[in-house]
Structure 1
């Protein structure tokens, strides 16, 4: 192994999401419109789909590919949901969230001031992936968070499904 090759490429973080999409090409277009993503790479698959791609959102890379059920690779659309939420910190959550909804996302929870100091909202992209977006507004002590969490939970009503 060459000593000039780094085990973790310099433009990558330790953890990088790798998501499976029912239409990776469409997802790339959505992420460009919704989140200002830049396409870094795209490897076409044998049937004209996307075997592998990578986009950069802010300072982070996201890998993605079309689902391949014969290889055990299914998208949230096929699975009827996802337990995973991808989180984005942005400069202005209200503007960023509106942009994502305008691009075709669906509101799960509109941006709201939260007890941990972020203004935070959740949306679903057209390909079934869940994204939360936030702007950090206040630095909070653990005691402040605990107090505000208890106040919020006393008045909390779950979002309409």
Structure 2
């Protein structure tokens, strides 16, 4: 199997309302880097990719044919407390404040796009 360089075997593909806003959220909260963006004729995002710590999240704007498809994600981060605070400042709803667990320092929150995030600092 030849997975293209810069991609992993499993990648989330999220369909959201306001994909540009979601990209801005990923950049601000997770220090994500936008890898690419392709627009449809109506100037909505047909396909975009954001890299977080070497992992790609693919996404698109929702349409009538493709309604929002959200997910829950477990994400390793350098500083879970910082990510959690940034997320709350961006309007996220807390599920679990940062706490020490057997697998690392972890937190949980729902974003305004319908996704659940579980950031962890090992």
When normalised by structure 2's length, the TM-score is: 0.90
**Residues 25-36 of structure 1: pairs in structure 2 closer than 5 A:** 25-36=20-31
Secondary structure of the equivalent of 1:75? Answer: coil
Q: Please list every run of 5 or more consecutive structure 2 residues that lacks an aligned counterpart in the other structure.
A: none
Q: Please list every run of 5 or more consecutive structure 1 residues that lacks an aligned counterpart in the other structure.
A: 1-5, 77-81, 137-161
Secondary structure of the equivalent of 1:69? Answer: coil
* Bigger Rg, which one: 1
Aligned-partner Cα distance in 1 for 2:91–2:38:
25
1:9-38 deviations in Å (ceiling 9; x for gaps): 111111111111011111001111111111
Query: Contact conserved, 1:30 with 1:104, CA < 8 A, in 2?
Result: no
Secondary structure of the equivalent of 1:104? Answer: coil
Shift of 1:103: 2.6
Shift of 1:107: 1.2
In structure 1, the partner of 2:105 is 119
Shift of 1:68: 2.1
Secondary structure of the equivalent of 2:82? Answer: helix
When normalised by structure 1's length, the TM-score is: 0.70
Which of 101-110 and 88-97 deviates more?
A: 101-110
**Residues 77-92 of structure 1: pairs in structure 2 closer than 5 A:** 84-92=71-79
